[in-house]
Structure 1
Amino acid sequence: MAQNFDSEGYMSRILVFGNEKGGAGKSTMAMHITSALLHSGATVGVMDLDMRQVSLKRFFENRTVFSKTHDVTLPMAEIGDIAAHEDITRPGWEKPAFEAVLDDLKSRFDYVIIDCPGALTPLSALAHAAADTLITPLNDSYIDFDLLARVDPETNAVKGPSIYSEMVWDARKNRALAGGKPVDWIVARNRLSSLNMHNKRKLGDALTDLSKRIGFRFAAGLSDRVVFRELFTQGLTLLDHKLVNSIPSKMSNVAARQEVRDLVLELKLPDLELAF
């Protein structure tokens, strides 16, 4: 993969998976995007900022165990363990610890994947400010849409952005004022259903209105497929099917891999040639 260095000598692109709501699919999407990058020959460092659940970190720990137990070589990401940093016991530890781990990963990997908790924390705010690409998974419901904006219940008109949208706006504005590259913000609609088409269309209209106001773009996310979750305990994704015989090559898995491929293409990452 081509390595493009910026003015500070770093070569990474930072992908942040974030919103303020749990259960939207951030970690699941981060695992599959990371797997896609690895299978395409990119080097990847990961940071898991959910200090309680650490799903992304656990995924790669499970992957290491599976690789050793089954004597199979799997493409691996390196975990940047912010919880192990020496500053974590000091007041205001978040910023120096975050920057130290991020700077180390940026200096050595093509991509840095950051998985944020389902809440606004100091670490989450730092990650959003650092993002080159921000991916916000969103389940197809008004409950999740409330994360982004307030809607008039009578007219379905967008009344204004939410606190989360305002936080992202401020992070992008401050980055621009500091002379940084623009943040590419992508809202990925996850677990789309064919049911209740009227509400689905209304929600789509509201998202389109909001995207014009605050500047994000859409991507199709991942469907509600069991295969996206069932391989977690082994540290695998369906993209590992050529290396692991226990992952069947059935048609539903082929369709699921295509969803991942389509999502990665929607991210429009420079110099990335997909190989899965």
Structure 2
Amino acid sequence: MGKIVSFSNQKGGVGKTTTCVNMAAYIAATGKKVLLVDCDPQGNATTGLGFSKSSLKKSVYNVLIDDEKAADNILQTETERLDLLPSNIDLAGAEVELVYKKGREKILKNALAELKNVYDYIMIDCPPSLGLLTINALAAADSVIIPIQSEYYALEGLSQLMNSITLVKQHLNPALEVDGVVLTMYDSRSLISKQIAEEIRKFFTRRVFEIVVPRNIRLVEASSYGKPIMLHDPKCAGARAYKALTQEYLNKEENKN
């Protein structure tokens, strides 16, 4: 039975999509079958895996709003064993349309249920908001990974996200847990970065991953070329960090079992 992991932070620009895409790619590289679900109307995970969201007919929108099967909207990516349930421009209106759907908070959960037997991991990139798309992703997930940038204001709004996770646990998904917090955009030369990292480790105690992701221009380039970092520049600092982070995550998963 596969595991569903949501990547969530309602604050934009924290490296959420970059973390989701690259961890998905590195997990696939270990031989596991992975599906990335792009629930963000911005569609950065979709473009980051080489697809143009403006021209796609298949998307998670069709699953959420038109009741199509998730399996009928999945695309194969350039990365072996990594598939994509993409976003497209229609998803921008989904928040409003979902309001009128029966059982609106659990549509994604029900749609992904049959795919848990097909994939080892299903990784959901949430939008940077706490609306119905994110609620669907959290209701469907077994766990959450929270990327936080190692910069000033990083903790801003974090209590709101934790409250949302608690509410989802109470009302929709009692088994939901936080797998961990990923520190992104870390600058070892910056005192602010070090202080923020320290604050985050105090706030979340043992739930913060040891591996931190550095600020790295090659990660930005990889996204613009529509490739995970392991296909763009596997030896750069960003690639080494995401490979090590993924291994740390998988080791934790093994130790749970």
- TM-score (norm. length: structure 2): 0.73
Match of 1:220 in 2: 211
For the 8 Å contact 2:145–2:179, the answer to whether it is kept is: yes
* Structure 1, unaligned runs of 5 or more: 1-10, 64-71, 149-161, 241-246
Corresponding residue for residue 165 of structure 1: 162
Letter in 1 for 2:36: V
Of Structure 1 and Structure 2, the greater helix share is in 2
Match of 1:188 in 2: 182
Q: Does 1:49 align with 2:39?
A: yes
The question of 1:137 aligning with 2:137 is answered no
- What pairs with 1:58-207 in structure 2 (closer than 5 Å)? 58-62=47-51, 74-81=79-86, 91-92=100-101, 94-95=104-105, 97-148=107-158, 162-172=159-169, 178=174, 180=175, 183-197=177-191, 199-207=192-200
Question: CA separation in 2, counterparts of 1:248 and 1:200?
Answer: 25
- Sort the Cα spacing of 1:219 and 1:92 in 2 relative to 1 into closer, same or farther, 3 A: farther
Structure 1 counterpart of 2:43, which letter? V
RMSD: 3.2
Give the superposition deviation at 1:260. 1.3
Matches of 1:95 and 1:61, distance apart in 2: 29
CA distance in 1, matches of 2:233, 2:43: 28
> Could you report, residue by residue, the CA deviation over 1:65-84 in whole angstroms, capped at 9, with x for unpaired residues?
xxxxxxx9641522235778
Say whether the 8 Å CA contact 2:209–2:245 is kept in structure 1.
no
Aligned residue number for residue 157 of structure 1: none
Structure 1 counterpart of 2:11: 21
Q: CA deviation at 1:15?
A: 1.6
1:172 CA displacement: 4.1
Q: Which residue does 2:246 correspond to in 1?
A: 264
Instruction: Give ranges in structure 2 of 5+ residues lacking alignment.
Output: 53-76
Q: Is the 8 A contact 2:40 2:87 kept in 1?
A: no
Question: 1:8 aligns to what?
Answer: none
Task: Please say which of residues 93-102 and 109-118 is displaced more in the overlay.
Answer: 93-102
Tell me the CA shift for residue 36 of structure 1: 0.3
> Take 1:55 and 1:264, find their aligned partners in 2: how far apart are those partners?
20
The answer on whether the counterparts of 2:37 and 2:125 sit within 8 Å (CA) in structure 1 is yes
Query: CA distance change for structure 1 residues 219 and 147 in 2, over 3 Å: closer, same or farther?
Result: farther
CA radius of gyration, larger in: 1
Query: CA 1:142–1:15 in structure 2 vs 1: closer, same or farther (change >3 Å)?
Result: same
Instruction: Tell me the amino acid that sits aligned with residue 12 of structure 2.
Output: G
2:9 alignment partner AA: N
